[in-house]
Amino acid sequence: MIIMKKKTQKIDCKVIEKKIQQYLDNELSPYEMQVFLDHVKECPDCKEELTIRYMISEGLTKAEENNEYDLLHGLEEKMKTSYKKIRNYDIGVFLVSFMILATLGFVVLAIIFAIL
Ligand SMILES: [Zn+2]
């Protein structure tokens, strides 16, 4: 059982690792971002990999203020912003689905009333 779990996680890690650069470049869809962040939160290996890559990419662009605390703080902020984006996206999807359902409901009611 433990072995199986480890194996599954390894496959996930490979997938997640490939997405690190896309995440840093803001190229993931909200769904991919959710999967990515959920995994990183639970997986110290991937978190470390993300931190390192983040520090490299940000360290290069912010060479002047290159201090470790700021960089780590920056990553935390980036992840928080990502979660906000996912939440906003979820709310958007919910509202659109709700409006479609409401419209459909109205049309169905209209048809029923027309028949009666
Ligand atoms: Zn992992």
Mean pLDDT, to the nearest integer, of 13-21? 94
∠ Cα 55 38 32 (to 5°): 85
Distance 97 CA to ligand 1 centre (A): 33
Domain spans of the chain, in order of start: 2-115
In the predicted model, is pLDDT for residue 4 greater than 60? no
Distance 4 CA to ligand 1 centre (A): 15
User: Please, which pLDDT band fits residue 13 given cuts at 50, 70 and 90?
Assistant: very high
- Predicted confidence at residue 116, as pLDDT, reads 82
User: Which residues lie near ion ligand 1 (Cβ < 5 Å)?
Assistant: 13, 43, 45-46
Cite the DSSP H helix spans in the chain: 2-24, 30-42, 44-61, 68-115
First to last CA, the chain: 61
Distance 67 CA to ligand 1 centre (A): 26
- Predicted confidence at residue 1, as pLDDT, reads 46
Angstrom distance (rounded) from CA 9 to CA 56: 25
Distance 49 CA to ligand 1 centre (A): 9
Angstrom distance (rounded) from CA 73 to CA 92: 29
pLDDT in tens, 27-42: 999 999 999 999 999 9
pLDDT in tens, 45-104: 999 999 999 988 877 666 555 566 677 888 999 999 999 999 999 999 999 999 999 999
Q: Which residue has the higher pLDDT, 47 or 1?
A: 47
